[in-house]
Amino acid sequence: MSNQTKDKILETATRLFYFQGFHGTGLNQIIKESGSPKGSLYHYFPEGKEQLAEEAIVLSKRRIGAVIQHYMNEFEDVGAALNAHILAMADLFDLDNGLEDSYTMMPFGLLAAESAFMNERLRKVCGDTYKYWESIYYTKLIANGFSDEAAVTLSKAVSAMIEGAVTLSLSQRSNESLLNISKVIPALLAQNK
């Protein structure tokens, strides 16, 4: 059994967790949709669904972190960087663009909300993931001359806004909430610099 098999199982599980949640996804569906034998799943993920979910969260932490970092690197100005980052997400959640193929940026909040009271192990990994993403915004704000206090406040506000806007965009079947966030970022930055 190759690492390719492991990757395929993990990719399938990640996609299903994002769309269906932890409780809405069964191991049998992961086995079936990944086209992998049951033995492979238990070979690579002996702790089953919980381990798969933890690895899916860590995978997303890195992937989404890399996307955020990409936009922070692309523009010197943090306002321009956040604007490009948020507009790219708005594009992704524009359902006409074929959401099913774009699950790397899926609503991470589903796993975070599901685990909040139900699974302390996964809750912690989700909480750490948000902190990691916030640290990328924080570093960029500091590089733009914001004070430590302002950078802490703004990085957490941006993180909360994006998380909420993704949930609202999906629930309202419109990316308006994400597009709207990009409109208020300049005001936030201007007042807090």
Min dist CB 4 to its own copies, Å, is 27
Min dist CB 50 to its own copies, Å, is 13
CB 68 within 8 A of CB 104: no
Number of Cβ within 10 Å of residue 7's Cβ equals 13
Q: Provide the angle, in degrees to the nearest 10, between the axes of the packed helices 148-171 and 78-92.
A: 20
Can you give the binding site for its own copies, defined by CB under 8 A?
19-24, 107, 109-110, 112-118, 123, 126-127, 130-131, 152-154, 156-157, 159-165, 167-168, 170-173, 176-177, 180-181, 183-184, 186-188, 190-192
Nearer to its own copies (CB atom), residue 43 or residue 156: 156
Distance of CA 27 to the CA centre of its chain: 22
DSSP 30: H
Min dist CB 33 to its own copies, Å, is 15
CB 158 within 8 A of CB 89: no
Nearer to its own copies (CB atom), residue 143 or residue 160: 160
Nearer to its own copies (CB atom), residue 67 or residue 154: 154
